[in-house]
Amino acid sequence: MPPHASPSRIITRVQQQPRDEVDQRPLDLALLRRLLGYLKPYRPMRNWLTFLVIIRAIQLPLLAWSTGAVINGPISRGDLHGTILGALGFGLLALLTQVTLCYRQRLGLLIGERVMHDIRMQLFQHILSMPVAFFGRMKLGRIISRMATDVDAVRAGVQDVLFVGCVQGGQSLVSAVLMWWIDWRLFLVVMLMAPIVWWLNHLFQSRISHASRALQESFSRITATLAESVNGIRVTQGFARESVNADLFQELALDHSRFNVAFARASGLFLPLLEFSSQVVSAILIFAGGILVLRDSDPVPIGTLIQFLFLSGIFFSGVQGLGNLYNNAMTAMAGAERVFRLLDMPPDWSDPADARVLPPISGHIECLHLTFGYDPAKPILHDIHVSIHPGQTIALVGHTASGKTTLVNLIAKFYLPSAGDIRIDGIPIRSIASESLHSQMAIIHQQNFLFTGSIADNIRLGRPGASDEAVRDAARRLDCLDILESLPEGLETMVGERGTGISMGQRQLVCFVRALLADPRILILDEATSSIDTVTEVRIQKALSELFKGRTCLVIAHRLSTVRNADLVLVMDRGRIIESGNHLELLARRGTYSNLYRQFVRLGLGGTRPQM
Amino acid sequence: MKSAPSTATADSLSNTQLVLRLLRLTWLFRSGCVKVMILQIGLLVFGLSGLSLTGLGIDYLRSVLDPASPRPHWPLSLPPPASWPPVAGLSVIAAGILLLAGIRAILNYKYSVLFSILLQQQVVVHLRSIVFKKLQSLSFRFFDDNASGSIINRVTGDVQSTRLFIDGVIMQGLIMLLSLGVYLIYMISLNAKLTLLCLSTTPLLWLMTSIFANRLRPAYKQNRTLVDNMIRWLSETVQGIHVVKGFAREPELTRRFADASREVRDQKQWIVAQTSFFSPLIAFITQINIVILLAYGGYLVIRGELPLGAGLVVFAGLLQQFSGQVANIANLANSFQESLAAARRVFDILDAPVEIESRSDAISLPAIRGAVTFQNAWFAYNPDTWVLQDVSFDVKPGQRVAIVGTAGSGKSTLISLVPRFYDPQKGCIRIDGHDLKNVNVNDLRRSVGIVFQESFLFSNTVAENIAFGKPGATMEEIRRAAKIACADEFIRRLRNGYETLLYEGGADLSGGQRQRLAIARALLLDPAILMMDDPTAAVDPQTEHEILEAMESAMRGRTTFIVAQRASTLQKADLVLVLDHGRILQAGTHDALMAVRGPYQRMVSLQAADKESLQALSAPPTVPPTSTHAKGGL
């Protein structure tokens, strides 16, 4: 028996995210006003829409009323001519109603789509303006759900809640007025049912939305398990665990189906109850109405009863609709609130208004008593003080989490120093316009990212508009054109998210070529060669030194072979530079570096460099 | 690069075959379907009775008020006793309506719960389980050829759409036929001519709804693609934010996103134009029915040929239900299309050949010694590009094989042939003298421990991950494996030690930690053969040193295949294979290969300490090491 306590074994445990994101929010006038603000650019459209909404709210009850009127009037009187006229009148009114519907729908949906596009663009631009630190805090899934789910909730808020809600509220109001006008006593009887219908609706809507939330959570367990099972198929098969996983999945699927059934129970109770309550309305109408009709003094005409049967239908469908919308509205409010919260989130920092656009730089970098912590209370870099001359190649060496990556990220102005300063060509980094710095800088990471598109497209990201020849030339200068051309479609091979389809090493080469094409003054390599195998590294070693030539280069490498030729090696430990000097100096010093180097070459193993 | 085998099976299934298979699937769940149908019939009967009672109520009132008006038709021709006051009659009718509505509500509830249990708890669970089971045993080729999103969708969305055949097509079709028939008979019994006239618009209604659906379906599909495309730009921008900001490419990505978003908007506007034209049109057609009903039905009422309540009002109700069902026909057709398309994708998986499977007469190999022989093995993922060409070598039990080569030279592929993740097209691979194809696959894989280049961990506890290959492993075994992999120490320091849940497959662990867990996982099975696909590629020298040191003891007594870069590893190998474009360029021991001038020698020399460095290391220290620096000295 496995001693570790896991009551039921499962393939993937989905971690329940702490629920800081509410699904619903009460109506909030300020939020609503802000939402309405998005309609301003489309003012004529909005005004027409408002007009049509009012018209439609009147037309619907009128239509029901006219049906009753024809039955009561000409038909009960036996007036054939009047009946046909009445029927035609009804037809005409129906046509008008549908034309109104056509335009109301069209305008409502159009406005919704346009507003959605506007908000999406606003969000995207806002997200892009955020400094890199933001992306470390904010999960990708969150950002996507703002852009997709929440923006859609806002659209639904504008379209359904605002316009459809007005129509439904209006139709209930107008039919109520009509019923009151026809017979107020009978109307009071009908009104008795209204709060019950509304309450039923409200109660079940919230029950259904609870059940559906639980269902979604359960479904996310299914998809997460599936995703890991597919991505981890090599592990599963490699460890011959197929049948164990299949049994576990069956249990999970069965468990999930319970949520499905629970959802069906909630909604299965709701719809029949609604229907039942509308039947109750008919029954009450016939009973109470019947008594009023049969009364000796001041009887209600039977036609009134028929009118009420039609009008109460319209009345209650409006009431029910409002009940549904109330729920949608609260969801929309929560979505809108999240979208606005993101839009209102100020960047931690942004370039000052008078930021200097860097002239072409020589690549002189100075770190002046630089201190930094992602959390200011926990500094990661302490008092880094170093000057890097134009054209120098600097190697940063040290254990994981010694602060190497943090230091280059600061030099790239992805973060701002907590204390101290960095100067590029003598200009304080805070006063430099980030874009002008980045356009003279190239960074290659270990986790290199390729965008969907061809390899050539990705290389061209370094210099948009570069010709095919320039792209090939850059690859040739890095001595890897043949490797890239040997891919199925050569430089036109498509790579997907995360560059599937080509190996990690090949991906890395693309990033090198991209950087070379950009022709930066400052080049940063963050563990960039680690996923390139040694044989390829041998090949591109020379080319790399070509790439380094004439630029200021910062190289973080755990392959010390890369470090061998650096002008300056900085050995970092827990956020401090503990040794600096060139390779031979540091070896002679017998400090941390020489130990690292010993581990690396396993002293005496390789012997002297063979003559070549 | 979509390869033929996975799609060929699906294409060969004709629609008829598909429908037959789906019918067989439905037959499996026949008793549930029958129960659901019986409930549906009950619903129909009680619904109609309720409607006719309402009509009766109106007629009863009229007859009480105006004795000249036609007598109401009482059900079963049983009028209430003449002595009853009208209020009593009315109460009976109202109570009848309520009673029927109550029964209907209960039936309706039962119906939806029963239906959901049938569909979700039986059909969907059945389908999901068999599809998942099959998926797990499909060869890697299938996973290489299909995007993971599409595979996931087959178990989630496609299974639901396949289920649609049972409820959306078969059941819905039967219900529709039944209710349309009953409505029609009822209406004709009321008045045949009126029925015909009112239904004259039905073909038009049906035509419009199907045109509408046919137009919009592809448009909605396209809309989803466009939205996905837009979200992809967003997600890539976020994932590649370092690249975007590093190259100052914000304006370009904003433009691309704006294009994608605008495309979504513009396409949606077309959909909007269509919807806002068609849906009022369809609504209007059903209203024409009411115009006809009012005109002609009114005429009939005036002529006394039709009662007002039980005739006209009931007819209006019936007509509404009827139109609703007709509009459903378009849905039925859609469901049919959708379920066929989805079923094709589901059956595609169920029919996909399991390329790698133990033969029925497979040899059981509980204890493998670990002798591996490649005999002229050729392998290609795609028919005309050989990834491995004529690879031959021989490994004795306990030997260590190191494989080196350029990116894409076939190192990982070579390794994945040993646990039989793929079969070579030509030549053969033997283990302990048996051709792999004759050996029980599970036995084989259990005796091969694998550490991948990018080690995949499941979002589960650390202990569960280590025990992945042996679900019943004791804590003792787990800890032993972790200790050998130098993982025990850091695991203990995690929040909950061995019971710590790994976030998103260990995203919160460092590369070195993940890799050490993967090594522990491979060691738990105490495999005779150990495969390591460059497990130290992504860790710093210190960590690498620890891992390699630990691996030393782990490798002892096992046949080991290791894709490696490091001279120290290579030197200890009994056999070094230098691969280039799928061919073995050089083979031999480290020393033998270093003795000849060639790619191997060049590669190793790059890592070797050069003369100057050696001198610097052996010379007395230039700067007396400070106490902190001196600790690690040799």
Q: Which residues contact A67 (CB under 8 A, 6 or more apart)?
A: A90, A310, B290, B294, B316
- State whether A242 and B630 contact (CB < 8 Å): no
- The alpha helices in B200-313, defined as continuous H runs, are 202-239, 241-246, 250-292, 298-302
In the prediction, which pLDDT does A48 show? 92
**Residue given tokens 């009187």 in the structure block:** A77
Name the closest residue on chain A to residue B307, using Cα atoms.
A76
- State whether B606 and A534 contact (CB < 8 Å): yes
Nearest-angstrom CA–CA distance, B454 and B118:
42
Q: Residue B385: what residue type?
A: T
- Cβ contacts (< 8 Å) between B236 and chain A: which residues? 449, 451-452, 497
CATH number reported for the structural domain that contains residue B77 in this entry: 1.20.1560.10
Q: What is the mean pLDDT of chain A?
A: 81
Name the closest residue on chain B to residue A103, using Cα atoms.
B276
Structurally, chain B folds into a number of domains equal to 2
Mutating which of A534, A565, A582, A598 best tests the B interface, going by the most B Cβ atoms within 10 A?
A534
- State whether A531 and B625 contact (CB < 8 Å): no
What domain range includes position B598? 358-447+565-609
Query: B30 and B120 in one domain?
Result: yes
CB B282 within 8 A of CB B208: yes
Percent helix / strand / coil, chain A, rounded to 5: 65, 10, 25
CB B322 within 8 A of CB B63: no
Query: B349 and B394 in one domain?
Result: no
Query: B91 and B180 in one domain?
Result: yes
- Residue B188's nearest CA partner among B284, B299, B78, B322 is B322
pLDDT, tens only, A379-428? 889 899 999 999 899 999 887 678 888 899 899 888 889 889 999 999 99
In the prediction, which pLDDT does B31 show? 92
Domain-embedded: residue B246: no
Q: Which of B326, B355, B384 finishes a domain?
A: B355
CB A74 within 8 A of CB A85: yes
**Residue given tokens 């100057």 in the structure block:** B612
Specify the 3-state DSSP secondary structure of B422.
coil
- Cβ contacts (< 8 Å) between B505 and chain A: which residues? 228, 232
Domain-embedded: residue B485: no
Arch. (CATH architecture) of A24-182+331-345: Up-down Bundle (1.20)
Nearest-angstrom CA–CA distance, B412 and B382:
16
ipTM over 0.85: no
- Cβ contacts (< 8 Å) between B458 and chain A: which residues? 11-12, 228, 232, 235
Which among B125, B140, B621 has the least Cβ separation from residue A588? B621
Distance from CA of B134 to the nearest CA of A (A): 9
- State whether B452 and A227 contact (CB < 8 Å): no
Residue A401: which H helix or E strand, with range?
A: none
Which among B238, B272, B607 has the least Cβ separation from residue A110? B272
Domain-embedded: residue B301: no
Ranges of residues in chain B whose predicted pLDDT is under 50: 1-10, 624-634
Which among A144, A226, A249 has the least Cβ separation from residue B152? A226
Question: What percent of chain A has pLDDT above 70?
Answer: 90
Size of interface A-B (CB pairs under 8 A): 578
- State whether B295 and A602 contact (CB < 8 Å): no
Name the closest residue on chain B to residue A411, using Cα atoms.
B246
Q: Which residues contact B218 (CB under 8 A, 6 or more apart)?
A: none
Query: B346 and B423 in one domain?
Result: no
- State whether B148 and A239 contact (CB < 8 Å): no
Nearest-angstrom CA–CA distance, A358 and A436:
6
CB B388 within 8 A of CB B410: yes
Mutating which of A109, A118, A124, A208 best tests the B interface, going by the most B Cβ atoms within 10 A?
A124
Nearest-angstrom CA–CA distance, B320 and A104:
24
- Cβ contacts (< 8 Å) between A238 and chain B: which residues? 419, 421, 445, 448, 450
CB A315 within 8 A of CB A174: no
Name the closest residue on chain B to residue A592, using Cα atoms.
B629
- State whether A483 and B132 contact (CB < 8 Å): no
pLDDT, tens only, A156-186? 877 777 788 888 888 889 989 988 988 888 8
Q: Please report the beta strands in B24-66, taking only residues with DSSP state E, as ranges in sequence order.
A: none
Specify the 3-state DSSP secondary structure of A248.
helix
- State whether A67 and B279 contact (CB < 8 Å): no
Name the closest residue on chain B to residue A145, using Cα atoms.
B231
- State whether A240 and B441 contact (CB < 8 Å): yes
Name the closest residue on chain A to residue B523, using Cα atoms.
A239
- Cβ contacts (< 8 Å) between B460 and chain A: which residues? 10-13
- Cβ contacts (< 8 Å) between A538 and chain B: which residues? 602-603, 606
User: How many CA atoms, within 13 angstroms, populate the side-chain half-sphere of residue A498?
Assistant: 5
- Mean pLDDT for the stretch of residues A462-484: 86
What is the b/e burial string over B513-529, where b = at least 16 CB atoms within 10 angstroms of the residue's CB? bbbbbbbbbbbbbbbbb
Nearest-angstrom CA–CA distance, B27 and B508:
49
- Mean pLDDT for the stretch of residues A189-212: 79
Q: What is the mean pLDDT of chain B?
A: 82
- B580: β partners: B583
Domain-embedded: residue B475: no
Residues, chain A:
612
- Cβ contacts (< 8 Å) between A598 and chain B: which residues? 617, 634
Query: B147 and B58 in one domain?
Result: yes
Q: Which of B321, B355, B389 finishes a domain?
A: B355
Domain-embedded: residue B385: yes
- State whether A597 and B609 contact (CB < 8 Å): yes
Domain-embedded: residue B616: no
Query: B366 and B351 in one domain?
Result: no
Which among B249, B268, B463 has the least Cβ separation from residue A461? B249
Mutating which of A286, A439, A585 best tests the B interface, going by the most B Cβ atoms within 10 A?
A286
Name the closest residue on chain A to residue B602, using Cα atoms.
A538
C-alpha A520: how far from chain center: 32
If pLDDT is split at 50, 70 and 90, which confidence band does A16 have? low
- Cβ contacts (< 8 Å) between A272 and chain B: which residues? 104-109, 112
Mutating which of B132, B263, B498 best tests the A interface, going by the most A Cβ atoms within 10 A?
B132
What is the b/e burial string over A193-226, where b = at least 16 CB atoms within 10 angstroms of the residue's CB? bbeebbebbeebbebbbebbeebeebeebbebbb
CB A107 within 8 A of CB A52: yes
Distance from CA of A390 to the nearest CA of B (A): 20
Which among A90, A109, A125 has the least Cβ separation from residue B254? A125
- State whether B125 and A518 contact (CB < 8 Å): no
Residue A12: which H helix or E strand, with range?
A: none
**Angle between helical axes of B250-292 and B202-239 (0-180°, round to 10):** 160
End-to-end CA distance of chain A, in Å? 61
- Mean pLDDT for the stretch of residues A430-441: 87
- State whether A239 and B152 contact (CB < 8 Å): no
Name the closest residue on chain A to residue B538, using Cα atoms.
A530
Nearest-angstrom CA–CA distance, A190 and A281:
7
Structure tokens at B428: 């053969």
Domain-embedded: residue B546: no
Query: B162 and B60 in one domain?
Result: yes
Region label for B558, one of left (φ > 0), alpha (ψ between -120 and 50) or beta (otherwise)? beta
- Mean pLDDT for the stretch of residues A79-95: 85
- State whether B544 and A558 contact (CB < 8 Å): yes
What is the b/e burial string over B178-215, where b = at least 16 CB atoms within 10 angstroms of the residue's CB? ebbebbeebbeebbeebbebbbebbeebbebbbebbee
Q: What are phi and psi of A522, to 5 degrees?
A: -120, 130
Lowest-pLDDT range, A91-100, A118-127, A448-457? A448-457
Query: B429 and B345 in one domain?
Result: no
In the prediction, which pLDDT does A498 show? 46
In the prediction, which pLDDT does B631 show? 32
pLDDT, tens only, A528-557? 776 666 667 767 777 777 788 889 999 987
Which among A228, A269, A506 has the least Cβ separation from residue B109? A269
- State whether B459 and A228 contact (CB < 8 Å): yes
- State whether A237 and B445 contact (CB < 8 Å): yes
Nearest-angstrom CA–CA distance, A386 and A368:
7
